[in-house]
Amino acid sequence: MSTRVRSAFGQEWPRQASTTARSGVTRIAAVQMASGPNVEGNLNEAARLIAIAADQGAQLVALPENFAIMGVADEDKLAVREKQGEGPIQDFLSATARRHKLWLAGGSVPLESSVEHKVRNSCMVYDGQGTLVARYDKIHLFGFEMGGESYREERTIESGREVVTVDSPVGRLGLSICYDLRFPEIYRAMKEVDIILVPSAFTETTGKAHWEPLIRARAIENLAYVLAPAQGGYHVSGRETHGDSMIVDPWGVVLDRLPRGSGVVIANVNLAYLKRLRQSLPALTHRTIHQC
């Protein structure tokens, strides 16, 4: 691709510029999928798409929420839940990160919880050696009733409690999942992060109305990049997810996006540009109302 993106300062960077220490520019990627009930098939598709991102020079790749399973029923994920550090989904993430020598965020993995009939919906982050370096359990659980659609994540998911950030070679990462996007206070609690991850499976109904404005708002108000991989398409359960995976810069500019179907979006992260933005508009230091 030869497409170029223009920054808020009028500077242009090629989307596929090579990653160099001298330039301080690195590459990140979001994978979009339309996962089904077969874990092995989903992992094979994820492997294919991660390889594409790696070939494009991505140092951080993020998978969507529920990348390993979108079951016919919500309870299907209970049958494939794993203990932390054990199981084929986590083995896949670790081995794939190590194989490509990149940081890999498994959008969400169903892990065992303290409640027998529930899971923790967990974003698992692995470094280039395949070591688990961060785990975030989804805090806000989606509930929605409109027309014939009904979702109640609390029936099968146990909520997390901890806000999680982690330092990486491409910057400080703030972890969140899907419905968290509607709650800006979670991102304020992260303090200053360079890249916000929002692996998602937005419904088509809510996604077409709110997905892009929410993603861009979180980027603008936190002066951070947002990396938002999503489920995008029709699923065996009959559910339709919105897709539109995107990467947004700290000025709210959409650097790359994929409206529908399986694929990869990729863009540059420039921490020097981020620093200049925060110096020019130090909104994060101008806050006068803080949580007690």
Condensed to tens digits (0 to 9), the pLDDT of residues 49-108 reads 999 999 999 999 999 999 999 999 989 999 999 999 999 999 999 999 999 999 999 999
Looking at residue 153, its pLDDT comes to: 84
Query: Looking at the predicted structure, is the pLDDT value of residue 292 above 70?
Result: no
Looking at residue 6, its pLDDT comes to: 31
Gap between the Cα atoms of 241 and 190, Å rounded: 28
Looking at residue 229, its pLDDT comes to: 98
Enter the tokens of residue 251: 């000025």
CATH topology of domain 24-282: Nitrilase/N-carbamoyl-D-aminoacid amidohydrolase (3.60.110)
Tens of pLDDT, residue by residue over 252-274, are 999 999 999 999 999 999 999 99
| Phi, then psi, of 141 in degrees rounded to 5 | -105, 130
| Model confidence band, residue 110 (pLDDT cutoffs 50, 70, 90) | very high
DSSP run (H or E) holding 211: helix 204-222
Query: Looking at the predicted structure, is the pLDDT value of residue 144 above 70?
Result: yes
Q: Which residues are catalytic?
A: 65, 138, 178
Looking at residue 291, its pLDDT comes to: 57
For the chain, what is the mean pLDDT?
90
More confident residue, 2 or 187: 187
Give the pLDDT mean for 148-163: 88
Lowest average pLDDT, out of 159-173, 257-271, 273-287, goes to: 273-287
Helix (H, G, I), strand (E, B) or coil at 105: strand
Helix (H, G, I), strand (E, B) or coil at 107: strand
Query: Looking at the predicted structure, is the pLDDT value of residue 13 above 90?
Result: no
Enter the tokens of residue 243: 């897709």
Q: How many CB atoms lie within 10 A of CB 57?
A: 16
Query: Looking at the predicted structure, is the pLDDT value of residue 1 above 50?
Result: no
More confident residue, 4 or 23: 23
Share of the chain above pLDDT 70, in %: 90
Looking at residue 135, its pLDDT comes to: 98
Q: Give me the sign of the Cα torsion angle 224, 288, 163, 231.
A: negative
Give the pLDDT mean for 158-168: 97
| Model confidence band, residue 152 (pLDDT cutoffs 50, 70, 90) | confident
Q: How many CB atoms lie within 10 A of CB 232?
A: 26
